[in-house]
Amino acid sequence: MRGVVYIGNGKAELTDELEVREPGPGEVLVRLVASGLCHTDVSVIDGTIPWQAPAVLGHEGAGVVERCGEGVTSVRPGDHIVLSTISNCGRCRMCSIGVPTRCRQSIGNRAEPFRFRGEPCSNFAATSTLVEQTVIKEAQAIPIDPSVPLSSVCLIACGILTGAGSVWNAVNVHRGDTAAVFGVGGVGLSAIQALVIAGASRIIAVDTVAQKEPLARQFGATDFVLAGDDTPQRIRELVPYSPTAPTGPFAAGGVDWAFECSGHPAALRAAVDSLEWGGSAVAIGVPAQGTEVALPVNHMVHLDRKLIGARYGESKPHRDIPLVVEYYRQGKFKLDEMVTKTYALEEWESAVDDLHHGALARGVLLFD
């Protein structure tokens, strides 16, 4: 069986020396059809995210159920599914109150459903999707309409839920609110689309690549700022304190919401510095372990500014994945347009290179 395996020391390789075990009770064996390539996968390879090798990479997949383990009732062989990365238990207090991203079993739950060259090999992010077949929990298998292209809906599994979910679940965007989105990749574009649906009046896209402006506007951004040292000031010029002054007392002016999707600490500081009184910045992107950001505490305490973190958009996959699919079917959420380029699995290194150079909104690897 073919798959992309992280072998340690900054290296990953495509191999046909993989095996996957049969599904156990409450598990599902999935044949992957399409997988997005996410910065998080690259972060494992380059060491930004520590992960034990060997491990099969990928966590943004869609496919077809092949076999079901004992007790599985919500899906059956032949069903088209999106694979959620949240491997929650479904029984704890957090699951019972509807916040599966806070389930203690949904993080750090590395398993070894694979064998690589005869030795145990782990999954990644509870899924592994850069492989022809994988085993997941029943709770992670979200059935979808088979008429919807798997090459597009695979992106919902991570990037879209992370960006859109942060708008819909982690905060409470009101009609007419203003927002800035830092990072115009798959996560940022999803946040922009969710802000449009939520009724935001001004959506400012921020990126270091000027060529991303048309893409940001295509997905709903009303403005674009090329990131630099003066990013907060540029944002206040677009959403000023008054008709005559971009900045008011105690740095008044700016946006109600700022979503940082790149994981860069300087961008997170700029997001906080771009807030209006009472505004909130949402940390979505994942930086290196131990990253710290210095923040102006007095301006936060006295002016009701906030900084919050959101894991996986605080998503509820069994509700939010079908919701995105329905918005897509209604023409309200762009999925096809987010796929900049498709690749054969053998071209995965080209996809990584294109991602690194900012050439992609999202790249998708196809298995069929």
Q: Which of 68, 95, 154, 261 is catalytic?
A: 95
What is the rounded CA–CA span in Å between residue 296 and residue 266?
Answer: 14
Q: Which of 15, 27, 40, 129 is catalytic?
A: 40
- 215 to 204, 218, 337: CA distances (angstroms): 13, 5, 9
In the residue annotation, 154 being an active-site residue is answered as no
In the residue annotation, 357 being an active-site residue is answered as no
What is the rounded CA–CA span in Å between residue 94 and residue 102?
Answer: 6
| Phi-psi region at 107: left, alpha or beta (left = phi > 0; alpha = psi -120 to 50) | beta
Burial 315-330 (b: 16+ CB within 10 A, else e): bbbbebbbbbbebbee
In the residue annotation, 103 being an active-site residue is answered as yes
In the residue annotation, 362 being an active-site residue is answered as yes
Q: Which of 2, 17, 89, 213 is catalytic?
A: 89
- Please answer whether residues 192 and 237 qualify as being in contact, where contact means their C-beta atoms are separated by less than 8 angstroms: no
In the residue annotation, 59 being an active-site residue is answered as yes
- Please answer whether residues 194 and 96 qualify as being in contact, where contact means their C-beta atoms are separated by less than 8 angstroms: no
- Please answer whether residues 223 and 205 qualify as being in contact, where contact means their C-beta atoms are separated by less than 8 angstroms: yes
Q: Where are the beta strands (DSSP E) in 170-290?
A: 178-182, 202-207, 223-226, 255-260, 275-283
Q: Which of 15, 27, 39, 202 is catalytic?
A: 39
Q: Which of 59, 80, 234, 236 is catalytic?
A: 59
- Please answer whether residues 274 and 254 qualify as being in contact, where contact means their C-beta atoms are separated by less than 8 angstroms: yes
In the residue annotation, 39 being an active-site residue is answered as yes
In the residue annotation, 104 being an active-site residue is answered as yes
In terms of Cβ atoms closer than 10 Å to its own Cβ (0-12, 13-18, 19+), residue 278 is exposed
Q: Which of 15, 27, 38, 134 is catalytic?
A: 38
Q: Report the 10 Å Cβ neighbour count for 351.
A: 26
What is the rounded CA–CA span in Å between residue 355 and residue 321?
Answer: 24
Q: Which of 68, 80, 101, 103 is catalytic?
A: 103
Q: Which of 27, 60, 132, 276 is catalytic?
A: 60
What is the rounded CA–CA span in Å between residue 296 and residue 273?
Answer: 8
Q: In the Cβ-directed half-sphere of 339, how many Cα atoms lie within 13 Å?
A: 20
Q: Which of 68, 154, 158, 261 is catalytic?
A: 158
Q: Which of 21, 104, 329, 356 is catalytic?
A: 104
In the residue annotation, 261 being an active-site residue is answered as no
What is the rounded CA–CA span in Å between residue 45 and residue 76?
Answer: 34
Query: Which residue in this structure is represented by tokens 């800035």?
Result: 180
In the residue annotation, 40 being an active-site residue is answered as yes
- Report the chain's terminal Cα–Cα distance, integer Å: 14
Q: Where are the beta strands (DSSP E) in 80-123?
A: 80-83, 114-116, 119-121
Q: Which of 2, 17, 67, 92 is catalytic?
A: 92
In the residue annotation, 340 being an active-site residue is answered as no
Annotated catalytic residues are: 38-40, 59-60, 89, 92, 95, 103-104, 158, 362
